[in-house]
Amino acid sequence: MDLKYQIEELISTGANDFEISKVIKEHIKNYLNSLDTIFTENQGKDFLVKHTKRIDQFLILIYKYTLRKFFGDYIPFVNQVPITLTAMGSFGREELCVYSDIDLMIVYKNIEGYNLEAIIESMLYLAWDSGLKLGHRVHKVDEIFEASNTDLTIKTAMLESRFLCGSNFLWMEIYKELIKIAKFDLKNFVQNKVKAHEKRRQQNPMSMEPDIKNSVGGLRDTNTILWLSKAILNISKTKDLVPKYISENEYKEYRIALEFLYRVRSALHLSAKKKQDTLNLEFIPDIANKLGFEDKKIKNAQQQLCEKTFAAMHTIDITCSIFIKKLVSSFHFDKKSIAKLRKNRIKPYIYKYDNLIVASRNKKPTTLLNIIKQCLLFDDKQIRFDISYIDYIRKSKFTKNNPPAMYKEFRKIFYNNYTYQIFNTLYKANLLKQLIKPIAHIKHQAQFDGYHKYPVDKHSLLGLYHLENIKESFIQALYDDLSGENKALIKLVILFHDIGKGRTGNHSEVGAKIFRVYAHKLEFSEEAIQMGNTLIKHHTHMSNVALREDIYSEDVVLAFITHIENPLILKLLYILTYCDINAVGTNIYTAFTSKLLKELYFLANEMFDKKELIGEAKRRIRKENTLKKNEEFINLPKTLQRKILSIVSNYFFIKHKPYEITKIAKIANDANPYEFEIENDAHLSISIIKSEDLNIGYLLGKLGFLDLINMEIFKLYDNKKYFKIDFNENVDQSDIPHIEELIKSSFDMNKKTTLCKPIIKENEIEIDFEHSNSVVKLTVNTKNQKGMMAYMMSVFDDEEIEVSTAKIQTIKNRARNLFLIEKKINLYENKDKLLELFITR
């Protein structure tokens, strides 16, 4: 049954206010529950208007019922009751969102004979009991003007007043007061409103989770236009500003953006089922669905929603800023500034005023090439660009494809000392994507990683800002020390480091390819392009290593610098990493992060002197990359894969093929306490993987009658070691059981055998304590002698020296042995004693 008739029926049966409010509340609840369905049919401003009108109906019904309750059958004509209900705020603009407060101003005229305050109080209680979320003000008509001057927000709300119901006679009096309010102290109102507008924008910058209402480019920006238009021009529709303040095309673009934000905000309220203006990530999937976005090959529905939202807010931000500048310029006019402007004229109609570049409205559009030449005049860190200048350059003329002269001039900007403000201005004017075409792909692109606070394009520009506002003196000194081309290069790299995001494949690899093409257009040297290519490929590497790995491990540092070809690239990567992390968001770059990055920089810089180790590490990484593509390796459990890649020895990876590494790892995984394998085809070969002590000196001593030609020892993982012992001959098959028993008995560390000291001259053995931070390298190059390795391994066991890697080879009767032994306390002090155990005097 229609609510109006239900109430009539209840009144006729003598129902009280509580019963009436229950019925109204039920209707309101049913209406709100139907909004999802209504939203699918009517979105944008149309949905808001329809919703506002529906709330109008509920309030009008409540007011009429209240009059009926007080007057009964003697109810006067509505115009004769000196009460008027006025909608304000979004309610007044007919833009009421689903869960927004219903701003209502009730105005009355105190006339004897009416119990007006009781009527108003009764009506308000009934509205609240019915579930309407009212934000209300009650004033006598002659109090409105005074009330408007108590608070800027109150005056603003009153400017949006809309007659809802009640006395039309009283509304005419109210309207006269509203006109008076709008014109009173107009200059002060406009200036305070602009200040409040700027403060709100500073407090609510654009982010990955924007406030659709209050952020830069949000609905509050559009509201400010209306408030100022109403106060200054007595215009209540933005359309009326065309064409004097904005062109038809600009207005059309603005309206499309505004319509989309209306849709997003309504969907956000419906999704959250409460007043919710921040576009949190948790609501995005449902909102994308409500707005009809569908997954596409490159971008899914959620990415499309966010990208379109950011684009709409960007349009509103720039358009509203231009609007406001034109509307309020006369209120900020200072005659003294004219002489100052003339004195600081840069070009006809272009002025520099307190480091602010301003363009006259009379300045006619020019070509983009001329704009670039103009920008080359600005090389000051303090320079800022007024919105009037952005309005001027965004009308620039250009061809679809940039001529070589454009790139030649644009290249020069990278050589300016300060470029951020120029690039940011070109970005706001939608010109940066014309000059750097790949930027169009990342413009307004969302980043759903829970880490980045800004879209990709904004993040990249902020990286440039932090390059020109370095807070750490050490990094600033590194940057100052760069050549002109390298300074220009790091700026281009910062702009391009995430250019590959949103494309198929690894974004760093893709970005490096795009960078190479564009850097050639800007005529950077091949050396600089190669460095930039490396920097973009590995732009996350330094932060990942510093924050996630043990930077005091020499192997970690070695692996790190294998991607970095020289100290100059390391320096550039350090600067890039600083800018990249700072551009993520506030308080991301901490003192702890700073300390780790600086420490890694110093450790890596020192490591460049150890060319032998770097060569090994590079070869290992190439082998690791091949291993990761190997099907057998891919099929291993992830935990075992990680264990394999954690093996310290570079030689282990360099020596073995992927299938051999996988095979050894599988055996090692099951070796408890040991596993061994004997091969006796072309020659005798013994493989042992063990997790407990092996008396290797005893084993080799017992096999001393055989000619040892090769032996390898590798420390694996989980305290397991791998031994591979090759002899120059095979044995009789009947000897294999004996060798098996010998291997088993070698796990008894008390076993001893008689060993002869080999002949090793002083110049045939060398020990390098500076080989690395963790191991000492001992090399022997001498005549091959039976039992030599058994003797040497026994010495290591007796002296409790841990061999992490060993390579023993016999070529042309010469033994070439290499041992990497772990550093331990007193090893250096006892080096002479150790050498004496080997050298024959």
Per-residue pLDDT of 195-244, as tens digits, reads: 999 999 999 998 899 999 999 999 999 999 999 998 898 888 888 888 88
Per the CB < 8 A criterion, the answer to whether 386 and 337 are in contact is no
d(CA 801, CA 697): 13
Q: Which residues pair with 820 in a beta bridge?
A: 777, 805
Average pLDDT over every residue of 440-454: 89
d(CA 311, CA 313): 5
What integer pLDDT is reported at residue 709 of this predicted model? Answer: 83
d(CA 412, CA 372): 9
**Where do you find CATH 1.20.120.330 in the chain?**
191-394
**Where do you find CATH 3.30.460.10 in the chain?**
3-184
**Token duo for residue 764:** 């045939």
Q: For residue 550, is pLDDT > 90? A: no
pTM (two decimals): 0.78
Confidence of residue 138 (pLDDT cuts 50, 70, 90): very high
What integer pLDDT is reported at residue 504 of this predicted model? Answer: 86
**Where do you find CATH 1.10.3210 in the chain?**
439-609
Confidence of residue 335 (pLDDT cuts 50, 70, 90): low
| Spatial CA neighbour of 124 closest among 146, 106, 112 | 106
pLDDT digits (tens, 9 = 90+) for 235-252: 888 888 888 888 899 999
Average pLDDT over every residue of 254-273: 96
* Highest mean pLDDT: which range of 4-18, 478-492, 497-511: 478-492
Confidence of residue 337 (pLDDT cuts 50, 70, 90): low
d(CA 446, CA 194): 30
Q: For residue 624, is pLDDT > 90? A: no
What integer pLDDT is reported at residue 643 of this predicted model? Answer: 92
Q: Which CATH superfamily includes the segment(s) 3-184? A: Beta Polymerase, domain 2 (3.30.460.10)
Q: Which residues contact 724 (CB under 8 A, 6 or more apart)?
A: 685, 686, 687, 710, 711, 712
pLDDT digits (tens, 9 = 90+) for 681-738: 888 999 999 988 899 889 988 998 888 888 888 889 988 999 999 888 899 999 999 9
Average pLDDT over every residue of 578-586: 94
606-632 burial code (b ≥16 CB/10 A, e <16):
ebeebeebbebbbebbebbeebeeeee
Pick the CATH number of 439-609 from 1.10.3210, 1.10.357, 1.10.3470, 1.10.8: 1.10.3210
Average pLDDT over every residue of 547-569: 85
Q: Which residue has the higher pLDDT, 410 or 650?
A: 410
DSSP 278: B
**Residue located via tokens 């001039």:** 409
Q: Which residues pair with 778 in a beta bridge?
A: 767, 819
**Token duo for residue 354:** 């307190």
Per the CB < 8 A criterion, the answer to whether 497 and 460 are in contact is yes
Confidence of residue 363 (pLDDT cuts 50, 70, 90): confident
d(CA 390, CA 323): 12
DSSP 113: T
What integer pLDDT is reported at residue 111 of this predicted model? Answer: 86
Q: For residue 612, is pLDDT > 90? A: no
What integer pLDDT is reported at residue 389 of this predicted model? Answer: 94
What integer pLDDT is reported at residue 336 of this predicted model? Answer: 64
DSSP 211: B
What integer pLDDT is reported at residue 74 of this predicted model? Answer: 84
d(CA 434, CA 457): 14
What integer pLDDT is reported at residue 834 of this predicted model? Answer: 85
Average pLDDT over every residue of 355-384: 90
594, amino acid identity: S
d(CA 182, CA 317): 25
Average pLDDT over every residue of 498-517: 93
Q: For residue 613, is pLDDT > 80? A: no
Q: For residue 328, is pLDDT > 90? A: no
CA neighbours closer than 13 Å in the CB half-sphere of residue 551? 22
What integer pLDDT is reported at residue 282 of this predicted model? Answer: 93
Does residue 678 sit in helix, strand or coil? Answer: strand
Other CB atoms within 10 Å distance of the CB of residue 817: 20
Sign of the dihedral through C-alpha 205, 211, 213, 214: negative
Confidence of residue 424 (pLDDT cuts 50, 70, 90): very high
Strand-by-strand arrangement of the 803-811 sheet? 674-680, 684-690, 721-727, 708-715, 803-811, 814-822, 775-783, 765-768
Average pLDDT over every residue of 398-404: 92
Average pLDDT over every residue of 317-344: 78
Per the CB < 8 A criterion, the answer to whether 256 and 84 are in contact is no
Confidence of residue 45 (pLDDT cuts 50, 70, 90): very high
How large a percentage of the chain has pLDDT more than 70? Answer: 98
Lowest model confidence (mean pLDDT) among 179-193, 389-403, 767-781? 767-781
d(CA 529, CA 515): 8
Q: For residue 467, is pLDDT > 90? A: yes
pLDDT digits (tens, 9 = 90+) for 718-727: 889 999 998 8
Give Cα 258 to chain centroid, integer Å.
26
How would CATH label the architecture of 191-394?
A: Up-down Bundle (1.20)
d(CA 51, CA 70): 29
Average pLDDT over every residue of 164-185: 93
